[in-house]
Amino acid sequence: MTRVSRLAVAGTCAVAAAAMAVSVPAVAGALPFGIAHRIELAGGSPVAALAFAADGKLAYAAAGDELQGFEVATGAPAALVKSPGTVVALASSPEAGGTLYAAVGTPARLLFLSQRPLRVRSSVAVRGGPPSGLLYEPGEHALYVESRVGRSVTRLDSRSGKAIAVAHLQGAPAQMAGDGRGTLYVANTATDAIDVIDTDKMMGIGAIPTPDCHAPTGLAVDPVGRRLFVACGNGTALVIDTDMGFAFEQLPIQKAQAQRTVFAFHPGGPGGWKGGAFIAGDGPGLDAIRMNAFISYASGGSMPLSGRVTAMAVSPSAEQLWIAIAPREGSGATGSAAAVGESRQESAVHILALAGSGGGAP
């Protein structure tokens, strides 16, 4: 593993984006975030999941059967733990002095780890199929384990690991998000809708259609729980008012088949955006939706990337957005030198820690 720390400024990315304008179907201006660290990972396994500790001081990456901890401030490695299987999803909570949850695909288990030091504390078997996603809801002391293969979401007690209930899904579940107030949303690529689950009963209570937004995969909800950010395969993103189930904003993004979405208020610190949703996957780059006001959104810019994004996490505490990048399939290890100002031609598995330019709205 090598680490390159350099506090790139927003201008770096702007130049990079401009250089990529021909090959990347950029839909907006340059993303006003710069590279705080570039962390290269040895081993070649793509990063399946990223998570921040609640205080924003540590970040975790799951690659293959390794769980790695990093100091957010420096990008320096802080810990390494072996898992009994390939970790497919991570979540973090402040419970018990800081807990990291890791979903293992095969055998299907959920690991409970202490964060300082990073150690496996316990584990439980997971029913409902091999896990594919993990979500922690602090207000509910709940963990939601999604299985796309098993078409299910299992609710567990985040303290005991006890399974409480399972919701069975139809179609093709993709990313899930929760509002922390008893509602879970699951993107459904097969039905062009967001399935809505009542977490008390773990039962579906409806579906929100995603008009003009086909094959939704990426999904995030703001911490208030009233805005859903949806990324769709046809190059469209939606902002949905959850109280009405109404998609009131439609924005262009880059086309991709498997996208993830994350959202945070003040993602670049208090002087930056009021809020931002970030979208990336197997497309050519990273897109952002900027929250101007609670009812006003605009394209926040895009950033061409040298590979596909396999994981993302954002932390307002850390004031950073981390994205894990792996070589595109079939593309070898090549990438664009211009992409995000990276000086190296190869695009091995690595993590980019992005920070807002701060000091006023980008």
Q: Which segment (29-37, 162-170, 202-210, 229-237) binds other proteins by CB under 8 A?
A: 202-210
324: closest CA among 255, 256, 278, 264? 278
Give the residue with the Cβ less far from other proteins, 119 or 214. Answer: 214
Give the three-class secondary structure for 10.
helix
In the bound state with other proteins, the residue whose beta carbon lies nearer, of 116 and 212, is 212
Q: Which strand ranges, in their side-by-side order, compose the sheet holding 133-137?
A: 133-137, 142-147, 152-157, 163-168
Per-residue string for binding with other proteins, 210-249, x by CB under 8 A?
-xx----------------------------x-xxxx-x-
Query: Alpha carbon of 216 to those of 125, 145, 160, 220: distances in Å?
Result: 29, 19, 33, 11
Of 151, 175, 274, 271, nearest in space to 230 by CA: 175
For residues 241 and 346, which CB has a smaller minimum distance to other proteins in the complex? Answer: 241
Stretch that binds other proteins, among 55-63, 201-209, 305-313, 323-331 (CB under 8 A): 201-209
Q: Is 196 in the site for other proteins (CB under 8 A)?
A: yes
Closest CA to 324 of 158, 87, 101: 87
Q: Is 211 in contact with 233 (CB distance < 8 Å)? A: no
Q: Which of residues 281-340 bind other proteins (CB under 8 A)?
A: 295-296
User: Smaller CB distance to other proteins: residue 86 or 183?
Assistant: 183
351 is a site residue for other proteins (CB under 8 A) = no
Tell me, what amino acid is at 23?
S
Query: What is the rounded CA–CA span in Å between residue 44 and residue 24?
Result: 25
Q: What tokens does 356 get?
A: 């807002």
- Minimum Å gap between C-beta 201 and other proteins is 12
Note whether 43 binds other proteins by CB under 8 A.
no
Q: Does 208 bind other proteins (CB under 8 A)?
A: yes
CB nearer to other proteins: give 212 or 361.
Answer: 212
207 lies in the binding site for other proteins (CB under 8 A): yes
Burial class, 37, CB count within 10 angstroms (exposed 0-12 / middle 13-18 / buried 19+): buried
Using the minimum distance from each CB to other proteins, give the nearer residue, 94 or 206.
206
Which residues make up the interface to other proteins (CB under 8 A)? 183, 194, 196, 205-209, 211-212, 241, 243-246, 248, 250, 295-296
